[in-house]
Copies of this chain bind each other. A is one copy, B any other.
Amino acid sequence: MPRASTTSDPFNAVAEPRRRHILEFLAAEERAVGDIADALELNQPSVSKHLGVLLDVGLVNARRDGRRTLYRTNADGLRGIHEWTGLFEQYWRSQLRRIKSHAEGRK
């Protein structure tokens, strides 16, 4: 079986670096496809395809404006990932404590 579809969930969608760049670029304000392509130095079809994936999993919103389509990051779609990784925070914290106390020469 191949890897799960990127359209299936946000974890897969953000596994692609260019899609992360797009999400960063669209976080603060909506942008047209061409502007994204220019800013990130990608081909227009490539941008449209990545946006399609992000749209499918709900990580961006789209709005038509004349002949342009304006996209913007839907940050709420990233909360699930943030919360999942947050489950491990206690562990990396305690590990840091161990390292720290060791460096300080304490048991």
Contacts and interface: CB of A to CB of B under 8 A. Distances in A.
How many copies of the chain does the oligomer comprise?
2
A77 to B, nearest CB: 8
Interface string A67-87: 000000101101101101111
Interface string A10-24: 011011110010011
A32 interface: no
Interface residues of A, number: 31
Nearest to A83: B85
B87 A24 contact: yes
Given A79-B92, A88-B73, A95-B76, A4 B17 contact: yes
A62 interface: no
